[in-house]
Amino acid sequence: MEFLSQAKKFGVRSLLLQGLTFLSVLTSAFMIWKGLSLFTNSESPVVVVLSGSMKPAYDRGDILFLHNGFSPIEVGEVVVYKLNDKPIPIVHRVMKVHTENESGEQYLLTKGDYNNADDRGLYSPGQMWIQRDEIIGRVKGFVPYAGMGTIWMNDYPHLKLVLLGTLCILSLFSND
Amino acid sequence: MYNFLQRLGGITSFAMSTLMALFILISLTTPFIPSNPTHEVTLHDVRTTTGRMVDPADRASRSAEYARLTFDIDADLTSMFNWNTKLLFAYITADYESPGFDTNRIVVWDRIIRNKRQAKLRLRKHHNKYFLRNYAKTFKDVSNANLTLHINPVPYLGIMYDKPMVTIPLAIPRAEKAKA
């Protein structure tokens, strides 16, 4: 309604300019995200905690800032790892580290603070240790509860549609 | 003038910026809050056994050497609780060098300390919570072994950091049956 009448007034050029501005905002956001991934050497430098297995330190809905870097993993660090054939990342603490001299290969065992048993039950069958390249990053900082929105979106997919719908309706009826 | 939504948008964006600035300030200043904890670890005994199934998750455990430690801990960590401390994670690691592996670190004991009342530790003759075995099946030619107590304060919000506290030497004997 408003949008169409404005478009007729200013012409195609102004529409294209608006489209370009919108695209450049999107791509800058994407570049910042990918630049952060490169800097931290981590495929996903900001994650949301999905399970309660690190209670009471980290609970569902906390946002973690990861930095992977290139140095060997130290024992006691809380790391996020993703097994090569499983899709979900897991946040647990490293309990055992064995580092080989020549290859620098590391053998790591992890365990969640809230669990009694270590993670060997979660690893792939027959896998006793995880390797350095399965680690997405070490937890360097965190903000509690800030990720609850993501958890709600995951648990109640209808919420995404409701949110999108509300945004569309609001933008159609706004005056500027 | 401005309508309701515009005012709401303005307030929200200002609140977000202020919160972000606050989070950054808190994260940067928390590690510098001073504390003076006291800590002492005394090792009484190390026994190594082999020949029996110890760890059900580890199929090789019957032939591997497992060490069992007996130790005391005396620590007063109450000064490490500041306004931004959610909990303290105290853990003891056994570090050693072995042929082919120049770093081996294994957490043998840990405890979560949630408040000042629990922060005065006085443990007598405790054993390791977690199995202590080498990556190889034996402790042969293991050298430079020591036990280190670490404290990892977890803040309510901010940067994580770790403080190694005290290191004492550890000697892991070979098991009687496996001496080779």
Which comes out higher in pLDDT, residue A93 or A121?
A93
Element (DSSP H or E) covering residue B153: strand B143-155
- Read off the tokens for A54: 């690190």
Q: Which residues in A39-49 are b (16+ Cβ under 10 Å) and which e?
A: ebebebbbbbb
Contacts of B57 in chain A (CB under 8 A): 117-118, 120-121
Closest Cα in chain B, distance from residue A81 (Å): 18
Q: How many CB atoms lie within 10 A of CB A124?
A: 10
- Read off the tokens for A39: 């800097």
In B2-119 the beta strands, taken as DSSP E runs, fall at: 38-49, 66-76, 85-98, 101-113
- Quick: pLDDT tens for A67-79: 988 888 888 889 9
- Quick: pLDDT tens for B76-131: 888 888 888 888 888 888 888 888 888 889 999 989 998 888 888 888 988 888 88
Q: Which of A54-58, B20-24, B73-77 is most confident?
A: B20-24
Element (DSSP H or E) covering residue B25: helix B4-29
Closest Cα in chain A, distance from residue B15 (Å): 14
- Quick: pLDDT tens for B38-69: 888 888 888 888 777 777 777 777 778 888 88
Check: complex ipTM more than 0.85: no
Residue B180 confidence (pLDDT) above 60: no
DSSP-assigned states of every residue in A70-87? SSPPPTT-EEEE--TT-S
Mean pLDDT of B156-168: 78
- Quick: pLDDT tens for A39-61: 988 888 898 988 888 888 888 88
Cα A68 off chain centre by: 13
Contacts of A170 in chain B (CB under 8 A): 5
Please list the residues that pair with B155 across neighbouring strands: B85
- Read off the tokens for B134: 């080498």
**Mutating which of A46, A49, A97 best tests the B interface, going by the most B Cβ atoms within 10 A?**
A97
Which comes out higher in pLDDT, residue A126 or B114?
B114
**Mutating which of A95, A129, A167, A174 best tests the B interface, going by the most B Cβ atoms within 10 A?**
A95
Instruction: Respond yes or no: is residue A92 known to be catalytic.
Output: yes
**Residues 6+ away with beta carbon under 8 Å from B177:** B49, B50, B51
| pTM to 2 decimal places | 0.80
